[in-house]
Structures are given as C-alpha cells and as structure tokens.
Amino acid sequence: MSDTSYLDRREHARESANLRARVFYGQGMAHWADCMIVDLSKGGARLQISSIYPLPSRFVVLQLLGGVVYDVRVRWRRGDMTGVSFDAQTQIETSKEERLAIVHQAWSALKAA
C-alpha cells in the first residue's frame, strides 16, 4: 500500500503534542518508563517510548504537563512508537483512586523538581 492510498481510520483528528510523560504498569504500578506523547487526539495518542520496555496491553500514561492520567490500551507498536487508545482519563491532583497513589507520588515529585 503506498502512502497516497493510506486510509486513516481514526475517529478523532490527531494533533502534534510533544509532551513529556511517564508510563506506569505492572502490579502496584511498580514499573515505569519516561516517554513522549508525540501526538494526541480525543480518543488516543502516539507515544515515543523505547522498545526495550515490555509494555502490557493495558497501562497508565501520566502526562506531566497538567497532571492528566490516561488509562490506555495498546493498538499497535512499531520500534519506539506505540499507538494507544484511551479507556479513561483522570486529573491526578484530585484523584482519590488508591490504584493511582504511586502515580500521584511520582507526579508530585516531578512537579516539584
């Protein structure tokens, strides 16, 4: 398939973002890795994250600017790029969810630095 015949099946338009982020995954969100949100839409994002990280099919992305947490699902992965769709979105500053306690601690520390 050539680039000219590529059909974009996204439900929402993508916008360039280049935002610093951190992914959290595993039991108790014990594993994490820094990444970039390359582009963003209402329904998902494209992340630049090293392919050395064995991401599960679902994980959490913390957007450092604004403290937004996305519960995501992997749609595709090619090299250091990963396409994800959003299952949920939370403001970490006001979240009381116990499962996000580690994420909240990390965000507070990163915000203070």
Confidence band for 11, pLDDT divided at 50, 70 and 90: low
Read off the pTM.
0.86
Domain boundaries, the chain: 11-112
Question: Over the Cα atoms of the chain, what is R_g?
Answer: 14
Which pLDDT belongs to residue 1?
42
pLDDT top residue among 11 and 53: 53
Q: What is the mean pLDDT of the chain?
A: 90
Task: State whether the Cα torsion 46-24-86-17 is positive or negative.
Answer: negative
Contact 83, 74 (CB under 8 A): yes
The 3-state DSSP class for residue 34 equals strand
DSSP label at 67? T
The per-residue pLDDT for range 34-81, each reduced to its tens digit, is: 999 999 999 999 999 999 999 999 999 999 999 999 999 999 999 999
CATH (residue range 11-112): 2.40.10.220
